[in-house]
């Protein structure tokens, strides 16, 4: 039996009020089953990051219902919400959102510090394991996050998203600023995580090539879903 992890019912999102208000998401309806790998594709300004913020419970819609793990977000208290964000969802933000002045290792350890069950030494081991798993240049783990290349920053952002073993990964343009080889590496990492560990992946992109690495494609334009279909030619990414 498939299990719904995400369900959006008639979601609408407005920015601003009154005559300056902007209707960023319009009657969004879709659901996601556990273990799916979905790409949400649309041009710049179509509402992708707005959608990611709502799906990740970082922001709320103005109307409609959003269910995460079958629970209405509007009925969760702030404790439940932060718990679900920390333990269930791994975020890869469009602009990385690393702490620039903090070293790489501590950036990746950060999501683990809220997990009191994991001993300090263990946290470091886990962070190192995930940095290695994304082929980070391990000679740079003590560098400040703003002292490494964009491709390396992206790997740190992905390692940080994965350390808590989330059941859902939300990645906003995770290959946006990368050369094609590093981009392929990132896509392959997501495909592997999805196939081997059953992690639900929602990949946000403006790029057809990137979207083709997913099994299902949702197209969004001017805040509306225009298409939602199974990708018949999922591109298996090979890279090293
Ligand atoms: N805080 C805000 N206040 C007002 N308008 C906003 C705000 N955030 C986004 N918007 C507007 O909402 C629309 C959707 O923005 P969003 O960031 O979701 O687009 P996007 O698809 O992620 O674009 P990109 O590909 O450039 O990242 C845009 O027209 C944007 O200008
Ligand atoms: Mg965006």
Residue 41 covered by a domain: yes
Chain Cα centroid distance, residue 238: 21
Residue 140 covered by a domain: yes
pLDDT digit string (tens) for 102-154?
Answer: 999 999 999 998 877 889 899 999 999 999 999 999 999 999 999 999 999 99
CATH number at residue 206: 3.40.50.300
Residue 23 covered by a domain: no
Residue 180 covered by a domain: yes
pLDDT of residue 92: 93
Question: How many domains does the chain fold into?
Answer: 1
Residue 202 covered by a domain: yes
Tokens standing for residue 161: 């998203």
Residue 207 covered by a domain: yes
pLDDT of residue 123: 94
Ligand 1, atom 27: nearest CA belongs to which residue?
Answer: 44
CB 118 within 8 A of CB 126: yes
* Pairing relationship of beta strands 37-41 and 89-92 according to DSSP bridges: unpaired
Nearest Cα neighbor of 198 from 169, 174, 218, 175 is: 169
Going residue by residue through the chain (240 aa), what tens digit of pLDDT does each one get?
689 999 999 999 999 988 889 999 999 999 999 999 999 999 999 999 999 999 999 999 999 999 999 999 988 998 988 888 888 999 998 888 999 999 999 999 999 988 778 898 999 999 999 999 999 999 999 999 999 999 999 999 999 999 999 999 999 999 987 888 889 999 999 999 999 999 999 999 999 999 999 999 999 999 999 999 999 988 887 654
Pocket (CB within 6 angstroms of ligand 1): 15-16, 22, 24, 42, 44-50, 94, 206
Which bound ligand lies closest to the C-alpha atom of 172? 2
pLDDT of residue 208: 95
Tokens standing for residue 112: 């683990």
Residue 20 covered by a domain: no
Range(s) of the domain holding residue 200? 36-49+77-230
Residue 105 covered by a domain: yes
Cα 225 to middle of ligand 1, angstroms: 15
pLDDT of residue 176: 86
Cα 125 to middle of ligand 2, angstroms: 33
């Amino acid at each position: 039996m498939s299990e719904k992890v995400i369900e959006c019912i008639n979601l609408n999102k407005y920015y601003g009020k009154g005559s300056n208000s902007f209707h960023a998401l319009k009657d969004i309806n879709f659901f996601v089953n556990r273990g799916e790998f979905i790409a949400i594709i649309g041009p710049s300004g179509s509402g992708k990051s707005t959608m990611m913020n709502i799906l990740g419970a970082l922001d709320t819609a103005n109307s409609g219902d959003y269910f995460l793990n079958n629970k209405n977000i509007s009925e969760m208290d702030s404790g439940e919400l932060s718990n679900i964000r920390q333990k269930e969802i791994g975020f890869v933000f469009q602009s990385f959102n690393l702490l620039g002045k903090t070293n790489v290792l501590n950036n990746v350890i950060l999501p683990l510090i809220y997990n009191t069950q994991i001993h300090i030494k263990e946290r470091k081991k886990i962070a190192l394991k995930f940095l290695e798993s994304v082929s980070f240049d391990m000679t740079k783990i003590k560098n400040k996050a703003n002292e490494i290349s964009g491709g390396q920053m992206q790997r740190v952002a992905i390692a940080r998203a994965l350390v808590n073993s989330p059941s859902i990964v939300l990645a906003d343009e995770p290959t946006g600023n990368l050369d094609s080889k590093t981009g392929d590496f990132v896509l392959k990492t997501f495909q592997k995580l999805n196939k081997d560990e059953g992690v639900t992946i929602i990949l946000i992109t403006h790029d057809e090539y990137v979207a083709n690495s997913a099994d299902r494609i949702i197209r969004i334009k001017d805040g509306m879903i225009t298409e939602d279909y199974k990708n018949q030619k999922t591109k298996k990414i090979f890279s090293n």
